[in-house]
Amino acid sequence: MKIAELVKDLPVAPLAGYVGTKVMEPVSMKLYQWESEADRAREDAARPGPPYQIAADKTLRLVGVELEGPARQRAGMGFHYGLAIGWAPVYALLRRTTQLSPVTAGLAAGAAMSLLVDEGITPALRFSAPNRAYPLVTHLRGFAAHLVYGLAVAAVTETAWALLRRRP
């Protein structure tokens, strides 16, 4: 039954990941605004650009594609939302194969994304500056924002699952 439940969650993952990102973004921006001017200045000076844009540029260059203007920006946003959509099944996997509650599974999925992607893969692939270049508050903001992402993914997935169960 757990695998069948997981399979039912997969079609919802794109919506859940998209909504999770849409909910996470304003939270992250508000937390950024609350940071001290010194921390914001240090972060802004360290950041070589949006990591998703750098990832898109580097990846496309590997296949010989160089984009400019709006096409380049769309590719960057495609990477940003693509990652969010691609990560959403992590929630479903945690929820449907463990005894974790929706809230706990959502928090775990968001925390894992923050730690593995933002704190690990992104700097390792040089899609961002090294972690030590940023103030601690930058890392904490990212972690908190990804917890919100995980909770939003959980809410969308569980709502869809409840609606599916109600269908005859």
The pLDDT of residue 133: 98
Q: Judge if pTM exceeds 0.85.
A: yes
The pLDDT of residue 161: 83
The pLDDT of residue 167: 67
Average pLDDT per block of 10 residues along the chain, 168 residues long:
74 95 98 97 96 97 96 97 97 92 98 98 97 98 98 96 76
Residue 113 near residue 51, CB atoms below 8 Å: no
* Backbone angle region of 40, left / alpha / beta, with phi > 0 → left and psi within -120 to 50 → alpha: alpha
Residue 95 near residue 105, CB atoms below 8 Å: yes
Residue 97 near residue 6, CB atoms below 8 Å: yes
The pLDDT of residue 168: 60
- 164-to-5, 92, 107, 160, 161 alpha-carbon distances in Å: 10, 15, 23, 6, 5
Residue whose token pair is 């495609």? 78
Query: In angstroms, how far apart are the furthest CA atoms of the chain?
Result: 58
Structure tokens at 167: 């269908």
Q: Any idea where the domains of the chain sit in the sequence?
A: 2-48+86-166
